[in-house]
Structure 1
Amino acid sequence: MTFRFDDTVVRGVLGHMNADHTGDNLLIARAYGAADDYTAAVMTGFDGDGGDWLATRGDGTTDVVRVPWPGGPIEERPHVRREIVALYDEACARLGVPPRPHS
């Protein structure tokens, strides 16, 4: 059964990702999504199995991009950051973009 995080945790992560990591959201959508013309993406949710992004194409249409966590299912809040960082790093590798250092 898929683990569901508390609403407060989900709101906090989504708020942070969509305010501070808009470029990362777009890189993840471009690397894992179905299209290569995404112009924007927002993280819309996540659970213990993976994250969800809504990616906007150049023509204004949108795709839901569901990406499983690279390390497998998770159930703890600190693991969410670890898995999103891993997705970002893999997205950079797939797209040939140098990743920025993580603090």
Structure 2
Amino acid sequence: MTEANPFTEDVVAQIMRHMNEDHAGDSRMIVQALGGRPDAESALMSGMDADGIDFVAVVGGEDVQVRIPWSRRLTERIQVRREVVRMSDEARDVLGLAPRDGR
């Protein structure tokens, strides 16, 4: 039996809006480095649940679905931010990019 998703549709929509408006570059890096799509031209968050985050990446002009699991099952909204920051930092490291200022 699967546990219920602790994140309501409105919370997921708010997180997606923030990610897609303010962090599209981070999404692309995460998909490239951690989602197995180094050829992604762009990526937007398309959903999430307690177990992972979903993106739609553009690869060769085509939309490709990419799901990346969290490091652990999430139960609270604050954990989402921490996981995305962790993923972004890990992606920068994998891609050989300098760490973000202040981290």
CA contact (8 A) 1:2 1:47 kept: no
1:22 aligned residue: 24
Separation of aligned partners in 1, 2:96 and 2:36: 18
Aligned sequence identity (%): 41
The alignment's TM-score, normalised by the length of structure 1, stands at: 0.89
Aligned AA (2:101) = P
Query: Where does structure 1 differ by over 6 angstroms across 4 or more consecutive aligned residues?
Result: none
Aligned AA (2:68) = V
Separation of aligned partners in 1, 2:101 and 2:49: 26
Residues 37, 83 of structure 1: CA spacing in aligned structure 2 closer, same or farther, 3 A cutoff?
same
**How far 1:3 sits from its partner (Å)?**
4.3
1:39 aligned residue: 41
Unaligned segments of structure 2, at least 5 residues: none
CA contact (8 A) 2:89 2:99 kept: yes
Separation of aligned partners in 1, 2:3 and 2:97: 32
Unaligned segments of structure 1, at least 5 residues: none
Residues 3, 63 of structure 1: CA spacing in aligned structure 2 closer, same or farther, 3 A cutoff?
same
Residues 53, 78 of structure 1: CA spacing in aligned structure 2 closer, same or farther, 3 A cutoff?
same
Separation of aligned partners in 1, 2:96 and 2:102: 18
The alignment's TM-score, normalised by the length of structure 2, stands at: 0.89
CA contact (8 A) 2:92 2:98 kept: yes
1:80 aligned residue: 80
